[in-house]
């Protein structure tokens, strides 16, 4: 947690509940140890959906479809394309989407995220909003293609970019198994912050997020 636990708990308590179905999905995910977007992330997404009113969203990393269903719930006439490669999660995600009643608003695309987004870009697809919450070491590889897929004025959101604050540490201070992801995420944050086609802010909420707006150059 980037902010202290008491502050985060208080903010979550005043944010109010989600719909009963989302609450049920969240409880189930926590019981099964499946990571889903945190409450602070949910609040920010809800605000962005209400403010920007994106008609088309691309999500990299469906998991159990909690975040896709969340965006369909709080978006206005929005369609979400969401990508998942883990077969076990795909079956559960499909069932959750069907049970949510948002089958017409959410398209689950099965396959490797990099391959799928390259195919989408080749087909000249474009999106008002892209939400990256997939393999952290691959964010840097996703970036060029996501920029192609994002319309000018659209917003790119990247989740879990600060590793509970450990991103500020030397690579030798993090666990050996995490060093590659740590280094790649640092590269990603530099790349996305220095990119002339993007105006980016890094937010220390939840596990860290970046918001990037695509601009004309």
Reported confidence tier of residue 172, pLDDT bands at 50, 70, 90: very low
- pTM of the predicted model as reported, rounded to 2 decimal places: 0.91
Taking only the tens place, the pLDDT of each residue in 18-36 is 999 999 999 999 999 998 9
Reported confidence tier of residue 166, pLDDT bands at 50, 70, 90: low
Q: How is the beta sheet containing 209-214 ordered, strand by strand?
A: 106-110, 79-84, 56-60, 127-132, 150-159, 209-214, 198-203
- Alpha carbon distances (Å) from 6 to 30, 34, 133: 20, 23, 26
Residue 186's pLDDT is 85
């Amino acid at each position: 947690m980037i902010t202290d636990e008491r502050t985060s708990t208080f903010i979550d308590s005043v944010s109010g509940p989600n719909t009963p179905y989302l609450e049920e999905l969240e409880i189930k995910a926590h019981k099964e140890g499946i990571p889903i977007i945190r409450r602070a992330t949910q609040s920010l997404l809800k605000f962005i959906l209400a403010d920007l009113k994106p008609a088309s969203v691309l999500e990299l990393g469906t998991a159990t479809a909690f975040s896709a269903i969340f965006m369909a719930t709080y978006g206005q006439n929005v369609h979400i394309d969401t990508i998942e490669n883990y077969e076990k999660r795909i079956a559960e995600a499909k069932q959750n989407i069907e049970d949510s009643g948002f089958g017409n608003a959410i398209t689950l695309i099965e396959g490797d995220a990099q391959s799928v987004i390259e195919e989408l870009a080749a087909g000249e697809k474009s999106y008002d909003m892209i939400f990256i919450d997939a393999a952290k070491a691959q964010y840097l590889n996703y970036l060029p293609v996501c920029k192609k897929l994002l319309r000018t004025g659209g917003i790119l959101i990247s989740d879990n970019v600060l590793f509970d604050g450990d991103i500020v540490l030397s690579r030798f201070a993090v666990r050996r198994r995490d060093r590659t992801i740590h280094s790649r995420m640092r590269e990603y944050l530099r790349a996305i912050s220095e990119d002339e086609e993007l105006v980016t802010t890094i937010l220390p909420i939840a596990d860290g997020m970046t918001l990037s707006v695509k601009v004309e150059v």
